[in-house]
Structure 1
C-alpha cells in the first residue's frame, strides 16, 4: 500500500483551495491536469502517473506542470480529492427518507468509486489535508447520518467504520481480480484442479471440518474460492442491523 509521504501541506492547501489561473499558453489548470492524472491511473494504475508521463500526455514540458500541481506527492492528494468530489455526481447525495436507504447509498457510492478508481484502495489513509472534494463528500455523508440518534462523535465513527468496511472488501475484491490473468480459469475450475492434491496434502477433510464445510458451501453457491463482494453486502447488512438495535435502545430515538 502506497504511503502518503513527502507532501508539503501548506503548498497543498493553496493547490486545493486557491487554484492558480489557467496557463495562457498551455491552457492547463490544476483541475485539467488532475483529471488527466486520474484517467491515467484508472487505465494503468497509480505507478503510471509520473510528472514526465503527464507532461507527455498534455503535450507540454514537465516544468509547465509544477505551478499547477506541485510535485507528485501533492498531485496524488489532488487526485484523491478529485475522486472524492465525484463520488455522488452520478447518483446524487443520499437524501432518502429512510435512514437505511441513505446509509446503503453511502456504501454503494463508495463501492462504485473503488471499482471505477481501483488505485484509491492502494493508498494508505494517512493524515490528509481536506480539500473541497473531500469536504463536500464528508458533509453529504454526515448529513445522511444526522438525525438518526447518533451523537456527533458517533456520526464520525459510524461513517469511518462504514467506509473502512467498503474499502477493505473492495481492496480484497480488486486483489482477487488482479491475481487472475485473462486466460486463467475461473475459481471453480482453479479449485477443481488443485483440490485433489490439496486434500491429499492436508490429509482429508476431517482435519479442518468446519473450514472444509464452509469453503465447499461457498464454492457451490458462488463458484468462487472467496467472495469479497458477498462479504461487503453481508457486512453492510450487519452494520445496518447494529445501528437499528442501537436506535431501539435506551439512548436511541
Structure 2
C-alpha cells in the first residue's frame, strides 16, 4: 500500500473516530459524561497520548536516520566508483576494458534507479555481477612495476568497497513498517480522538481544529513512510551523485 493511501486511511480513522464520538455523545446516558467520567477518561487518554507521541516520534526519527544512512552510503559508493576509475586510469592501457565495463555497470544502475536520467536500455545484468566481473579482470592484471602492483592492490580494495556498498548494488533496500504495528498505532490515535470527541462541543470551530490535528498526524505518518520508501515518491534519495560520477568516468 502506498504511503499516500496509508495516510488517507489514518486521516479517515482519526477524524472518523471524532465524528463517531460526537454522535455517541448524543446517544449515551447523561450520567456517563459527568465531570468525574470526563476526568477519568482524560487521565487515561493522557497516558495513551503520551505513549503514542513517543512511539510516533521514535518512528519518525528512525525513518529519518535510515534515510540519511542510505543517502550517505549511496554518495560514498558513487565517489568510490570515480576513485576506482582513476586508479585504473593510472594503471595503464591494460585497464581500459575494465574501465569500460565499470562505466557500463554505472549506466545500468543509473538507468534502473532513474529512468528519466538515463532511459536507454543498458542490459539486464545485475550490478553486483558486473562488479564481480571487473574484480576478476583486475585480478588478471600482470603488473610489471611496483607502481602497477600497488595500483592493482588499490583497485581491488576499492572495488571490494563498491561490492560491499549495498545501496549501490541492490534496489530493494527500503524499510517497511510491520502492518500489525501500524494498525496498533492507528488504533491508539483513533481512540484518542474518540475520547476527546465525546466531550467536544459539536461546532464548526472545534471540529475544524480536530480535522487539522488529524491531517497533521496523517502527514507525519506519510513522511515517515515516504522516508522508508526511499527509492520512489517526492522524498527519495537523489541519483545526482551517481550521474555526476558517470560523467567523470573514462576521462
**TM-score relative to the length of structure 1:** 0.24
Structure number with higher helix proportion: 2
Higher relative contact order (CA 8 A, sep 6+): 2
Q: TM-score, normalised by structure 2?
A: 0.24
Considering only CA atoms, is the larger Rg found in Structure 1 or Structure 2?
2
